[in-house]
Structure 1
Amino acid sequence: MTGEASWTVWGLDASIAVTDSALAGEASSLVRAVIAGVDAACSRFRADSELAVLVASALDAARWTGGDVDPTLGNELDALGYDRDLAVVRLRPSGPATPGTPSPARETGWSRVHLEGDVLTVPDGLRLDLGASAKAVAADHAAARASAELGCGVLVCLGGDIATAGPAPEGGWQVLVQDLPDDPAQQVTAAAGHAVATSSTQKRRWLHAGRSVHHILDPRFGLPAEPVWRSVTVAGPSCLRANVYSTAGVVRGFAAVDWFRRGGVAAHLVDQQGRVVTTGGWPREERRGTMAEAGAQSHG
């Protein structure tokens, strides 16, 4: 019998499920410990953060996506008012109005960051924000650690990022793919060791300069990406891979569909009218499908 536990972290809903219900409490403690360690290592809101710990993964994400997922957008997020926990940002008055002129192209940031051994070099004027990739890496590491120490299958969900490790329960891990309650819903099966991640333009929103903005920025301009998609969900061999491509899917907009299809990326995209587009090995809506093959596709 499976066991579950849930809590709130980083302003997000977090939960775990384990194949042995008697181990749910211990698994929860292990996962919380890993997440606390990641927070201490890379949180943008802590003065004692050791950001270099997860920079390598963030730079990998930038390379995989041609810079669509850029870890050097800290200043741009601050300028939009996202300079502290989102719960606080939402309570503050709207930020100052800004001129309604198009933003000039932004100089590429990630390619100017260098990590050689334990030496991290970040040019003046750039500020790192590892939020997306750090959350995914935390889910991957937490699931792996809990499974290794407890000897059972573990699923970890952090705000839409799902990682699994160890054996899956009979029939596989059942994952409901749905962003908001009124959005299209589909249940899929995640095979052991596979991951599913959703990036949304609907949830992390706040008012700035009199308009609603979201947290996924287009690195070319340092502004929220055009919300072509309400949500993008990707299955992959790790939560980091799935998260990176779901985020890049939001940034690329309509162009993400052909990009995913060329790369064999298994994805479920929902547009502003609630229409669903799937790519790669994502199962058709009319049947419940397994993500085993889809998650094994190359996302290079």
Structure 2
Amino acid sequence: MPLVETLPVGADTAQWSVWGTVARVVVTDPAATDDAAAVVREELAAVDLACSRFRADSELRQVTPGRAVEVSPLLAELVAAALRAARETGGDVDPTVGAALCGLGYDRDFAAITGRRVAPAVRVFAAPDWRAVRLRDGYLSVPLGVLLDLGATAKAVAADRCAARVSERLGVGAMVALGGDIATAGPGPDGGWRVLVQDKPGDPSHAVRLPPGSAIATSSTASRTWGHLHHILDPRTGLPAPRVWRTVTVAAGSCLRANTLTTAAIVRGRRASSLLRGVPSRLVTPELDVVRLGGWPS
């Protein structure tokens, strides 16, 4: 996952483990750090309760397939973001892959499956058409047999929401990193927000500066793996996308947009360059060669 360059953690930074990754919040006023962390924790707890597929009490788990169910504004926002990502990528990022992920063994919080040395027996589920999911006027309808997984977009939406709320409530500039999803809001420090883009120790690294209000996301086929599998599925096959790219990083105006493009690029593989044309992007091959597109700095 990308690492925020303001390490070791200083007075302007708080971090903790969440969702099998690290949450980190950095603010322009060190006096606001504790309050900013509280805002982010509150927001992440709300998102988790709304859409986790690993919690029996989550709102998403209470949605009855085959009928229209009224949902909270937060869950409606998260589902709408997932459907928008599917529409914008022609289905490369698809929230109906939940059953496929479960069939591959990703059926609990990632921290609980990390220790698996051998993948479980694989059951293949091609994702249903995402267009069969309906969200209208606060009512969500999921077809029978469909299990929604919002993991491809919900973390990015959460990063955007957290950064915006910290800035709005506390009147400071904020950068919020949830693993590879990083969003900023409000005024930035002199020279912009410093971010070190690197997936794992030993991988190629690159320090960049984000302008205030921008975001960056990285998707990886080397992180969140178990056995020989990784978590980014090609919805057309229900199986992990081929490892054409080890990581893809994109800078954009929102973390949701950046994450949508990085995930779709992993799925598209060798066709990723057409998707990322004109977008600042950094792609790393399994051999650790770096490809820069769209004006990504050298």
Common fold by TM > 0.5: yes
Show the 5 A alignment for 1:1-300. Answer: 3-51=12-60, 53=75, 54-92=78-116, 94-97=118-121, 106=126, 108-207=128-227, 212-261=228-277, 264-283=278-297, 285=298
2:32 alignment partner, SS class: helix
CA distance in 2, matches of 1:156, 1:121: 32
Could you list the runs of 5+ residues in structure 2 that have no partner in the other structure?
1-9, 61-70
1:61-108 residue CA offsets vs partner (Å, 9 max, x unmatched): 001111000000110000001100112113356344459xxx79x364
Matched-pair identity in %: 57
CA distance in 2, matches of 1:62, 1:107: 12
Change (3 A) 1:190 1:98: closer
Q: 1:147–1:166: 8 Å Cα contact kept in structure 2?
A: yes
1:8 alignment partner, SS class: strand
Q: 2:153–2:260: 8 Å Cα contact kept in structure 1?
A: yes
Q: How many residues align?
A: 274
2:213 partner letter = G
1:176 alignment partner, SS class: strand
How big is the alpha-carbon RMSD for the aligned residues of Structure 1 and Structure 2? 1.7
1:119 partner letter = Y
1:259-296 residue CA offsets vs partner (Å, 9 max, x unmatched): 211xx22110000111111111311x2xxxxxxxxxxx
- Structure 1 residue ranges, 4+ long, deviating more than 2 angstroms after superposition: 90-99, 106-109
Higher relative contact order (CA 8 A, sep 6+): 2
CA distance in 1, matches of 2:127, 2:81: 21
CA distance in 2, matches of 1:174, 1:8: 21
**So what's the TM-score if we normalise by structure 2?**
0.88
Could you list the runs of 5+ residues in structure 1 that have no partner in the other structure?
286-300
CA distance in 2, matches of 1:265, 1:2: 34
**So what's the TM-score if we normalise by structure 1?**
0.87
